[in-house]
Amino acid sequence: MAAFTFVCTECGERFRGEPDLLVCPTCVRLREPGGEIRGVLEVELDELPSQWPEDGFADPEALVAWWPIADASSLPALGVGGTPLLPAARLRIELGMPRLWLKDDSRNPSGSSKDRASLLVVAMAAELGRDTMITASTGNAATALAAVAAAAGIRAVVLVPADAPPAKLVQMASYGATVVPVRGSYDDAYELAMEASQRFGWVCRNTALNPFTVEGKKTLALEVAADLAPDTPDVVVVPAGDGVIAAGVAKGFDDLVAAGLISRLPRLVLVQPEGSPALVGALGSGAATAERVAAASVADSLVVDVPRNARLCLAQVRRSGGGGVLVSDDAIVTAIARLARLTGVFAEPAAATVLPGLEAALAEGLIDRGERVVLLVTGTGLKDVAAASRAVHLPGPVDPTPDAVARAVQCA
């Protein structure tokens, strides 16, 4: 295991040689039952590389230098990361933004950005000799853990709301995970996963609780920065639920600044559904943390009553000079088809929020059209085809004749 130190993001206390520590033992006492995680830990590596990897960050050997793992053999062979940064020419023209990019993380093995966190969490569990992991999830984190655990030969127990999209449930079950649908919300499943992990001695992957979830997601920033080098993005637009993706992106850019490879942290702009507005509401009010909401949205991956990583996420967004916007469910559903039509990228509802989110940020003056902007597309539309179908019309069958085809095309 590579040499690193955990640093508490609240009190600054440092912990050396405790790789299985989850949270700061002092600050965690401040946590209220069912509330956000207190004492979230960040990884501080003893040494960071001073140059870009020759073969990019998809190379496992490159990740060894940026992650707290012993060597590349600790990483399950699954091909996580290395997703493309797309120039999106037609979307650039439509929006009048000549320096707009899409980071298409739908191309990860299980179809979402959550694979990045799971890859590191599983690798660290394997190095510690652990054989069972548990997580709570709205769907994508559970599917990601199931996929990576299958590649590593580690047992995965996943707790999900019983109303999670069927495609996600089928996917995680196909990977061989023990799927436990919970009668209740994601927040209920989150608390249950914590309790079960303590009772049975399993490694808990819960987002924010496990510090390697933030560290794992920083590779998004590393890849974006490497692809744009020597330039640096001005703004990164991030879908937000618990706030771990945003914190991970900030951590990646911070590490690049510390390594001397970029000079500044881009502004982070969070996007949340109107029905799940806790983080954006806190940004608007100036609060240090988020208030509990009764969350509901078509974007199931972002439906969170209590963002578990609220304090760190909000602090990072403010430090970057960024902000947050809310978008309606109707705008999200419309964006799925619009994004696919203009870019060829088919996004699930949570991922599609970045398009109406970008337009809201432009309208509010958070982003300028001439800036270098990256939209994080965090999951594939195949995760929730039912939601995508709400924005398209599927025609009925025609007779197998050329004339029938001509009529169908003319009417389309």
User: Which tens digit of pLDDT belongs to each residue from 165-198?
Assistant: 888 899 999 999 999 999 988 889 999 999 999 9
Q: Cα 410 from chain centroid?
A: 41
d(CA 147, CA 222): 23
Residues 186-241: tens digit of each pLDDT: 889 999 999 999 999 999 999 899 999 999 999 999 999 999 999 999 999 999 99
The β-bridge partners of 269 are 237, 323
Contact assessment for residue 7 and residue 14, using Cβ atoms and an 8 Å cutoff: yes
Query: Under DSSP, is residue 323 helix (H, G, I), strand (E, B) or coil?
Result: strand
Whole-model pTM? Answer: 0.94
Instruction: Using alpha carbons, select from 244, 234, 242 the residue that is nearest to residue 266.
Output: 234
Average pLDDT, the chain: 94
- Structure confidence at residue 1 as a pLDDT band (50, 70, 90): low
d(CA 56, CA 8): 30
d(CA 210, CA 212): 5
Q: Is the pLDDT of residue 326 over 90?
A: yes
d(CA 369, CA 352): 19
Contact assessment for residue 255 and residue 262, using Cβ atoms and an 8 Å cutoff: no
d(CA 302, CA 384): 13
Residue 27 in tokens: 């600050």
CATH code for the domain defined by 85-111+213-389: 3.40.50.1100
Contact assessment for residue 146 and residue 364, using Cβ atoms and an 8 Å cutoff: no
d(CA 31, CA 7): 18
Q: What are phi and psi of 238, to 5 degrees?
A: -125, 125
Residue 326 in tokens: 């809310």
Contact assessment for residue 177 and residue 156, using Cβ atoms and an 8 Å cutoff: yes
Residues 376-412: tens digit of each pLDDT: 999 999 998 999 899 898 889 999 999 999 999 987 6
Q: Cα 369 from chain centroid?
A: 25
Residues 112-156: tens digit of each pLDDT: 999 999 999 999 999 999 999 999 988 889 999 999 999 999 999
Contact assessment for residue 350 and residue 333, using Cβ atoms and an 8 Å cutoff: no
How large a percentage of the chain has pLDDT more than 70? 100
Query: Under DSSP, is residue 58 helix (H, G, I), strand (E, B) or coil?
Result: coil
Q: Is the pLDDT of residue 358 over 90?
A: yes
Q: Where are the domains of the chain?
A: 85-111+213-389
Contact assessment for residue 246 and residue 238, using Cβ atoms and an 8 Å cutoff: yes
d(CA 218, CA 289): 22
